[in-house]
Amino acid sequence: MRRYKTALGNFKDGEKRITDFWNSNSILYLVNNLKDDQKGEVRFYIDIGDDDHLYKGNSTLHTIMRDRKIVHEYRVRDGGHTWEYFSSGLEDALEFISLDFK
């Protein structure tokens, strides 16, 4: 947990852990509170393996974004949280990112 202290602040128990600092770094909080006129400012690309230990957070993010009508790309592919999985999706991710460069 020590390595996350810079990004997340001091860890506390229960509801006390949800601070302004936490919220300012939480994608779930930020997307939930995104103003309607800001929804198109960022292009989101989510790629998660069906065996990745982070699937629940990614699925939650996707659901919030769909409910709030925030345009995004969401991919679920076979695999886990591995370099092999990451490298197999890199070409598609770079193609998505490159659409913003002219």
In this prediction the pTM is 0.78
Look at 86 and 102; give whichever has higher pLDDT.
86
Instruction: Report angle CA 68, 71, 72 to the nearest 5 degrees.
Output: 115
Give just the sign of the alpha carbon dihedral 40, 45, 50, 52.
negative
Which pLDDT score, from 0 to 100, does residue 25 have? 85
Which 8-state DSSP code applies to residue 59? H
Which pLDDT score, from 0 to 100, does residue 38 have? 95
Tell me the per-residue pLDDT of 42-87, one tens digit each, with 9 for 90 and over: 899 999 999 999 999 999 999 999 999 999 999 999 999 999 999 9
Cβ–Cβ under 8 Å, residues 66 and 56: no
- Parse the chain into domains and list their residue ranges: 1-33, 40-102
Rounded CA Rg of the chain: 16
